[in-house]
Chain A
Amino acid sequence: MKNFSEIKVGDKTEFEVQIDESIHKNFSSISGDKSPIHLDDDFSSKTKFGKKIGYAFLLTSFLSRLYGEYLPGGSSICVKQESNFIKPFFIGDTIKIKAEVFNKIESTKFVEIKSEMYRNQEECIFKGKGIVQVLFEKNE
């Protein structure tokens, strides 16, 4: 777990998540979103996407993992998040989440982090900026 002073502008991380049926169905259950564009093969085959699309807000759930586990990790809370869902993703895709610290504000212990997500190593599907507040100081 890093405290505020140990976090540096330019700190980076990345990790991958495989989108399988289980994750897709679990998110449907948690969110309560039963839209046919996500769950009905016949319906979604007639849309411009041609098949069921993944849940946009499933992507933001990976930001929870990002902030809580990797960057900065540990005792931080997200206080603001901007999210741009650029392109769809699908069951079976591998999503790579990349993030970097681009600003720190000492007086409020805010850390600003930009994030991008790519499907199958190539296509950028998400861009976001978030602010997390680091609560933990080792000398407190």
Chain B
Amino acid sequence: MRDALAPDTLLSVRNLQTHFVSRSEVAKSVDGVTFDLKRGETVAVVGESGSGKSVTSLSIMGLLAHPGRIVGGEILYRNRQGTVRDLAQASAKEMKRLRGTEIAMIFQEPMTSLNPLFTVGDQIAEMITLHEKISYRAALDRAAEMLELVEIPAARRRVNDYPHHMSGGMRQRVMIALALANKPSLLIADEPTTALDVTIQAQILDLLRRLQSEMGMSILFITHNLGVVAEIAREVVVMYAGRVVEQAPVVDLFARPKHPYTEGLLACTPNAARDVDPNGVRLPLRPIPGSVPPITALPPGCTYAPRCTYAVPGCTGAVPPLFSVGASHLSRCFRHELL
């Protein structure tokens, strides 16, 4: 099974199952997620809050909080030595060694993701000295280079700035510098642009794309924003209530969504040109009715059926499998032919 990892594949998540087990109930936060991430490429995981996208990323990082646990599946990762490791089975020690060096992560809240007590240069230098035996002074020098790399103006001077001296966009750049300080092979970006305004979002995405082409890392991009997905990803995994509901190359997904949920998500993305009738009157947006079911009380069969406009009584009978609906295009819908 492990040898089945193609040589250009960095990460292969296979049938990942992450459950949160409490005394009275089991929350299947991630239920059978499978996707591959090739070297230097970007896969986006899309879903609403509670869809399991963040738990997927934390499972890969080995940072699940109690009582979360990986109960099944594999997270095959090709490390720098070229050996394939199953991160789902890796020891805490091995995971700690990988974090920050080979796998790094950036978060949603740039305003609070930096320690307010230390200068940004100091924090980047800490990252470098943690994983590499060089002097603090040399590390600080490298920190300045990293700040230049993430396009912070007057980087040499701003090394000595505290986080509160910086704007949200600047801090997210510092976070990226921090994450990339040790040139990781895999960058997990958990909604890195959600807290930023649109122009800054575009700059950060642009920066990530540039750094990716220069440093060659793979990016696992977690987001709920389909606009961002179109900007950055090559392949998209759409999650709903812990399961993958659709998986496709990005162009395919936007052109031919094959799952009612994806279609619904696309329909509720505002689009000024589309949402106006011929007389110039704005049409109402079409939100998906209802909300994501609680993960501990999923409806039987297709979990999306209660909100689905295409649903028929048969949909609640059994969990639909992933149907192949095109070239590397999968959909978990019995009625995908209608779409």
Q: Do A and B bind each other?
A: no
Residues of A near any B CB (own CB < 8 A): none
